[in-house]
Amino acid sequence: MGIKPCKECGSPVSDKAESCPRCGAKQPKKTSVLTWVVLGVIVLVGVIGALAPEGSKKNQTEIAKLSSNNENSKEVATPKNWSYETTKDEMRNTTTLFASNVSQNTVNFDFPYQGGSNLVITLRKKGDATDVIIAITKGQILCSIRNCEVAFKFDNNPIQSITMSEPDNHSADVLFVAHDSTAKKIINQMKISKKLTIEVPFYQEGSKQFTFDVSNLDWK
């Protein structure tokens, strides 16, 4: 038991007494250790509760960033050299399949085709007919009405001279492989090759070479 002075009259008062025996003034109750412990726990829980959401949000943000970075890394690590498309003619109930590949390099022509041009090779299948088509993004291919020869080279194999022809509208930026058997042969070679080089003659520009990554072709 402890003794302390009364706040009103200064007389000694036991810390167990509720009031001063001399003046009757009520004495302040002493807060127990247990009470302080309970209050401390309540405050600590409140602080943790206030901080937890912020930490969770930060963790979620970091996880989202890591996930996004991983997805981007996968996209960069596995670029798609072939693009595929399917179109359907609702009226005739026919389906046409396309597979396209853009050259890895560009060539520069004089006006009005300056600014860099790519060659695009496209496979087209409609019913039983299969076409192999090349097209320049900007430029004028040199080809006569009676067809022309274009050089193809797969990997390190010998150069092949492929007979090609203009489309029906005589567009100067597109050529078709002239014979169906040759088109099928080219597609079969693409399936087992990684690199294709095509040399095309251009009006007033001479012959230009374009390289393609033709690996992993998915074509039936």
51 pLDDT more than 50: yes
Judged against a pLDDT cut of 80, whether residue 102 lies above it is answered with yes
Torsion region of 48: left, alpha or beta (phi above 0 gives left; psi -120 to 50 gives alpha): alpha
* C-alpha span between 92 and 86 (Å, rounded): 15
Which residue did the predictor score with more confidence, 49 or 94? 94
Quote the CA–CA distance of 196 and 190 in Å, as a whole number.
8
Q: What is the pLDDT of residues 170-181, one digit of tens each?
A: 899 999 999 999
Residue 100 pLDDT > 80:
yes
Percentage of the chain with pLDDT > 90? 59
Query: What is the per-residue burial (b if ≥16 Cβ within 10 Å, else e) of 90-128?
Result: eeeeeeeebbbbbbeeebebeeebeeebbbbbbbbbeee
pLDDT band at 32 (very low <50, low <70, confident <90, very high): low
Give residue limits of the domains in the chain: 83-213
pLDDT at 80: 87
Average pLDDT for residues 45-71, to the nearest whole number? 58
- Average the pLDDT over 9-15 and give the result: 53
Predicted pLDDT at 73: 46
What pLDDT shows up at residue 56?
A: 52
Average pLDDT over residues 72-95: 79
- Could you give the CA distance from residue 63 to residue 1 in angstroms, rounded to a whole number? 59
Average pLDDT value for the chain: 82
Residue 147 φ/ψ region, left for φ over 0, alpha for ψ in the -120 to 50 degree band, beta for the rest = left
Residues 202 and 208 sit within 8 Å (Cβ to Cβ): yes
| Lowest mean pLDDT across 42-51, 128-137, 195-204 | 42-51
Q: Each residue of 114-164: pLDDT tens digit?
A: 999 999 999 999 999 999 999 999 999 999 888 999 999 999 999 999 999
User: pTM (2 decimals)?
Assistant: 0.65
Q: Does 59 have pLDDT greater than 90? A: no
Q: What DSSP state is assigned to residue 217?
A: -
Residue 74: predicted pLDDT: 46
Q: In angstroms, what CA-CA distances link 206 with 139, 141, 150, 201, 209?
A: 12, 10, 12, 6, 10
Q: Say what the pLDDT of residue 144 is.
A: 86
